[in-house]
Amino acid sequence: MIGEIPGVPVGQPYASRVLASEAKVHRPRIAGICGTKSAGAESIVLSGGYKDDEDLGDVIIYTGHGGQDGSGNQVSDQSLDDSGNAALVTSHLQGLPVRVIRGSKSESVYAPQSGYRYDGLYRVASYGSKLGIDGHLIWQFRMEAALGTPTPVIEADQLPVDSPRSDANAPVGNDTPDRASSNVQRIVRSSQVKNAVKRWHSDQCQVCGITIETPGGTYSEGAHIQALGRPHNGPDRTDNVLCLCPNCHVKLDTGAIVIEDSLTVIENGVAAGSLRTHPQHTLSLECIRSHRERWRR
DNA sequence: GGGCCCGCAGGG
DNA sequence: CCCTGCGGGCCC
């Protein structure tokens, strides 16, 4: 389950990994990353297992997994083929939220005094590779606190001796949790619809035919033909979604291209080829017409 | 404190 | 199935 776990507030402590696992907050009992390449990452744990990590509170530089010898030393290169790392790449490409759990063994001032603590949702802002402290290639993911995720409280005995407790360290609840979590669930649902379409087309743009290759795999965007929400109110279904490259996505959203009932693509008033199709991917003519109506001139 | 080994759930 | 992993307890 991606996003918040219902009934689990930000700041929720767990005495052990087993308890966090039973609460479904972070299911693996040992591994630091939970997730799959196809669905994205559910959650990560910062527990001091990788020395290249940096914890700045609302920003975390999180090291991917793999390449260690079992006692915390990096002895070989990490790879994006590793499932956890691939999962974080997917979360980045699709803008999906990741639950963050801090453990007491992390060196960070934001670490809990003991056990583990759920610290809310973060997004994978960017990622890249570099040579780690031990001289092997590592992949790192920049995690940024999502809107509504507070910077964690610095627990009392972590404060520098002279610094008074400030209001900034007062316990923080979750602002408008219901609305935030329903937004998250809507993003997740919508991304499942888009993923189905992208899989059918193997990330090849249905308009221009290109496939973008990245170190983390191929990339495409799921583009709604009839826009979601007011005033267009398009359905979030696969028959209202196209697999497009970012350029063609912009063109579709701005009316630079429209689509005829015959699936001919019209650009600058002239036919510019035919939409690529897939047998399992039926399209809604109603949505295509609605998009055309929107950009009639 | 470090080393070891027993774990099991997740993922491919 | 097999393999791995930001545990954890116990022993030294």
pLDDT in tens, A154-212: 987 655 544 444 444 444 455 555 667 778 888 888 888 999 999 999 999 999 999 99
Question: Domains in chain A, ordered, with CATH?
Answer: 13-156 (2.30.280.10), 191-294 (no CATH)
User: Which residues does A272 contact at the CB level (< 8 Å), separation at least 6?
Assistant: A257, A265, A266
Q: What angle do CA A171, A55, A68 make, to 5 degrees?
A: 130
pLDDT score of A165 = 43
Residue-level pLDDT at A8:
96
Rounded, the Å distance between the CA of A78 and C1' of B1 is 29
d(CA A270, CA A264): 10
Average confidence score pLDDT of chain A: 91
What pLDDT is attached to residue A158?
56
Query: A230: burial class by Cβ within 10 Å (0-12, 13-18, 19+)?
Result: exposed
> What pLDDT is recorded for position A185?
83
- The protein footprint on chain B, as nucleotides within 7 A of a CB, is 3, 7-12
- Cis-peptide into A231, omega within 30 deg: yes
Which two structure tokens, joined as six digits, stand for A297? 């001139």
Q: Which of A96, A107, A81 is nearest to A41 (CA)?
A: A96
Give the nucleotide with minimal C1' distance to the Cα of A27.
B9
Nucleotide nearest to A18 (CA to C1'): C7
Instruction: Quote the pLDDT of residue A155.
Output: 82
SS (H, E, C) A238-262: HHHEEEECHHHHHHHHHCCEEECCC
- Whether residue A277 contacts residue A216, with contact meaning beta carbons closer than 8 Å, is answered with no
In angstroms, the CA A39 to CA A261 distance is 33
pLDDT of res. A71: 77
Those residues whose beta carbons lie under 7 A from strand C are: A 16-18, 28-33, 45-50, 53, 62-63, 65-68, 82, 84, 103, 105-106
pLDDT in tens, A276-287: 999 999 999 999
CA–CA dist A244, A157 (Å, integer): 52
Q: How many Cα atoms sit within 13 Å of A296 on the Cβ side? A: 6
Nucleotide nearest to A104 (CA to C1'): C6
Q: How far is the CA of A130 from the C1' of B3 (A)?
A: 30
Span CA (A74) to C1' (B2), Å: 18
Sites in chain A below the pLDDT cut of 70: 157-179
